[in-house]
Amino acid sequence: MGYLIWLGSLHLLNNRFSGHFPLPLKNCSSLVVLDLSEKEFTGSIPAWMGNFKAKFIDMVPGDAEITYTPGLMVLILHSNKFNGSIPLELCHLDSLQILDLGNSLEPFPDALAISAA
């Protein structure tokens, strides 16, 4: 799976995966949607998740065409068995629009706090 660097969307909800967070996902840097909900993942959410940011990529050296990848916009990790705290690096996902960590872990970093205005 780590060789799928142009993979934009990955939905693996509601199956029997377990253990630690899959390290090969670290190489899937073009992900826009990641749904790994309802698993038996344990351990902590890795800090490298904060690296799925918007970026411009020069597809072919010497070519004038540059591709834009928006970065991770949807992250769904609810109903897992994570422990520890939510990594502060998730606060650097400037394209993130949906974050679902329900029934997974807490506390939330202050940078993710939503104020009641």
The domains located in the chain, with CATH, are 9-112 (3.80.10.10)
H or E segment and range at residue 43: strand 40-43
Give the lowest-confidence range in 24-28, 102-106, 110-114: 110-114
Predicted confidence (pLDDT) per residue in 25-75, tens digit: 888 888 889 898 888 888 888 888 888 876 665 555 555 555 666 788 899
How far apart, in whole angstroms, are the C-alpha atoms of residue 65 and residue 44? 38
Is residue 77 over pLDDT 60?
Answer: yes
- Check if the beta carbon of residue 52 is closer than 8 Å to that of residue 35: no
